Amino acid sequence: MPANAALQDIETLKKRHRDLDKQKTTAEAHQKTAEDQLKKLKAESRAKYGTDDLDQLKKQLTDMKQENDRRRADYQKHLDAIESRLEEIEEQDRSDD
């Protein structure tokens, strides 16, 4: 206690103790809720992705993004080919006229 701090009476100390006890109880309840939610999320992760390991999940996400990028690139190439073929057909129709 700092040298210049006033000595508190017993009622003030009891009130501080009650307040701290309430804060402790609230913190414990929040911790319990967070732990329960974490357990639930880990179970969901294991069911959906086969793991709840953060590093494995990050790798899976990276792999999924790479696969998605590959599929988008393939789709874009496919659409480009269709457009190119349509342009050829239109050009051929114009030259036939």
Residues 62 and 89 in one domain: yes
The range of the structural domain enclosing residue 31 comes to 9-51
pLDDT of residue 7: 87
> In this structure, what DSSP letter does residue 1 have?
-
Query: What would the two tokens of residue 92 be?
Result: 């051929």
pTM of the model: 0.61
pLDDT of 77 strictly over 90: yes
In a domain, 1, yes or no: no
Residues 22 and 47 in one domain: yes
pLDDT of residue 73: 98
Q: How many domains does the chain have?
A: 2
pLDDT in tens, 58-71: 999 999 999 999 99
pLDDT of residue 63: 98
Residues 17 and 33 in one domain: yes
